[in-house]
Structure 1
């Protein structure tokens, strides 16, 4: 039986290269299609707070989504990794100017300027992944930050991914958490949508 660590490392390399090979104009079109699909979701429209990662160059763009959400009057919170742990917290931002490169070169909020979000009521969370399967499980970067956060997050979780990075089934562990909705440039897939939109922390 293949070691799951080798299996995941090979998959990560595969999907990273696939994204790097995507022509810039194609990526731009896909990013716009995914953003529009997210913004059309009633879960997104009704959310008062958007939790989202800040995209890197090989990820589905979230920076335009962040800017649009702020213009619409939504609260926007982005993650900051907690030093010495595999956990992260979300901080409210007023603009992308509140961010600076930090863990793994990813843009993160400055806790000196931003407010820690502790109430996740009426929020949605945009979840990153190098790949997703049709059950909503994700292939992350292997550090476990999102797995730990999502285990305690009960509102709607939305995975955004290119359709070329969807696969039938990913091996996953007992602590992995599936998203509720999958959004690609081609389609929206409901996986396990909660009955209640709001949730207590």
Structure 2
């Protein structure tokens, strides 16, 4: 079931008309950067997005402009994810999963230093449970993470009544931000 929903959501994300995408991404960026969680956070973890995901580059840029410490994930061995500080001159390379990650994996930022984590996903229940991209990296990370969590999503990614099984290792996201379609 999850694999079917992943496939459907990726298709819907790819097929979203660009004018709708641009407008909604701008609204979501504004919503994130004006949220209480954002204002309270000194260090923010966020994935460097790839199309057709919701664009996070403007969120990262806004954080840097505001003097926030922005950290991006690296997908390591045994499905262990670590976060590393991102600056405009940080060398990034495409991982085996096709996502941009920091080249320098020394000095990971401890999870207790990350105040806010923007959690990616493809589908979300109203209670914050999500279907990710299938690697389990975020589920493992969230199991030991104690900071605030937030996800941004388009309206069609939100399910009132999830059609998938919530598993014991699933950790719900605390706050979901979406926009009108």
TM range (shorter): over 0.9
SS in 1 for 2:31: helix
After superposition, give the CA deviation of every residue in 1:157-176 in whole Å (9 maximum; x if it has no partner): 00111111111133210110
- Contiguous gaps of at least 5 residues in structure 2: none
How many residue pairs were aligned? 179
Q: Which residue of 2 aligns with 1:142?
A: 134
The 8 Å contact of residues 46 and 122 in structure 1, kept in 2 or not, is answered as no
The alpha-carbon deviation at position 119 of structure 1 amounts to 5.0
Shift of 1:115: 3.6
Secondary structure of the corresponding residue to residue 141 of structure 2: helix
Per the alignment, residue 27 of structure 2 pairs with: 33
Deviations for 1:48-88, whole angstroms, at most 9, x for unmatched residues? 001011111111110111011011110010000113x1111
Match of 1:59 among 53, 63, 68: 53
Q: Residue 96 and residue 179 in structure 1: after superposition, are their counterparts in 2 closer, same or farther (change >3 A)?
A: farther
Aligned residue number for residue 144 of structure 2: 152
Question: Would you say the 8 A contact 1:127–1:157 is kept in 2?
Answer: yes
Q: 2:178 & 2:98 partners in 1: Cα distance?
A: 26
**Closer, same or farther: CA 168–56 of 1 in aligned 2, 3 Å:** same
Corresponding residue for residue 155 of structure 2: 163
SS in 1 for 2:168: coil
Q: Equivalent residue of 1:185, what SS?
A: coil
- Contact 2:125-2:159 within 8 A present in 1 as well: yes
Higher-RCO chain (CA-CA 8 Å, sequence separation at least 6): 2
Aligned match for 2:95, one of 94, 102, 110: 102
* Stretches of 4+ aligned residues off by more than 4 angstroms: none
User: Does the 8 Å CA contact 1:93/1:115 hold for their aligned counterparts?
Assistant: no
Query: CA-atom RMSD, angstroms?
Result: 1.6
